[in-house]
């Protein structure tokens, strides 16, 4: 069951990141994919926009939240924190890279936001396990 939840959450992340219009997905539930067979890979290194609007912050929080949950699910399934980190980080890079092929903006900056969610989940998992072990040893 744990593996199934990981696959479902990974699929949800993939759909949200690769659908042609994230706004269309959120507003109308519209999922559509437009393949770009020759993406501009230099966009991956592009800087974030100078003007930060509310929608931008909501999307970046979505990145953080999505990879936080993904990492929590991985931690429940796997014992190795290193394996969890590398699986989650690999998927973060993969989804951003795939966005370039689906007419979206895949950015290294977003991988950093994803990494923040990954590290937050790993840190909270460590704190939870420390308290859990302390409580069981009393």
pLDDT tens string 20-38? 777 777 777 778 788 888 8
Residue 109 has pLDDT above 60, yes or no: yes
Percent of the chain residues topping a pLDDT of 90:
45
Q: Hey, CA dihedral for 107, 67, 54, 35, is it positive or negative?
A: positive
Residues 6+ apart with CB under 8 A from 16: 22, 25, 62, 66
Q: What's the confidence (pLDDT) of residue 32?
A: 75
Instruction: Report yes or no: 44 and 106 within 8 Å, Cβ to Cβ.
Output: yes
The whole model's pTM is what? 0.85
pLDDT tens string 56-77? 888 889 999 999 999 999 999 9
Q: In whole angstroms, what is the distance from residue 65 CA to residue 98 CA?
A: 19
Residue 133 has pLDDT above 60, yes or no: no
pLDDT tens string 35-57? 888 888 888 888 877 777 777 88
Q: What's the confidence (pLDDT) of residue 76?
A: 92
């Amino acid at each position: 069951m744990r593996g199934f939840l990981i696959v479902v959450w990974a699929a949800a992340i993939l759909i949200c990141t690769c659908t042609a219009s994230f706004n269309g997905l959120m507003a109308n539930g519209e999922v559509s994919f437009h393949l770009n067979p020759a993406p501009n890979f230099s966009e991956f290194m592009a800087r974030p926009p100078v003007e930060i609007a509310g929608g931008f912050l909501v999307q970046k929080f979505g990145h953080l939240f999505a990879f936080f949950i993904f990492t929590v699910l991985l931690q429940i399934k796997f014992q190795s924190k290193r394996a969890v980190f590398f699986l989650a980080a690999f998927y973060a890079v993969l989804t951003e890279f795939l966005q370039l092929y689906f007419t979206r903006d895949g950015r290294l900056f977003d991988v950093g936001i994803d990494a923040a969610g990954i590290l937050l989940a790993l840190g909270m998992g460590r704190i939870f396990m420390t308290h859990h072990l302390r409580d069981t040893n009393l």
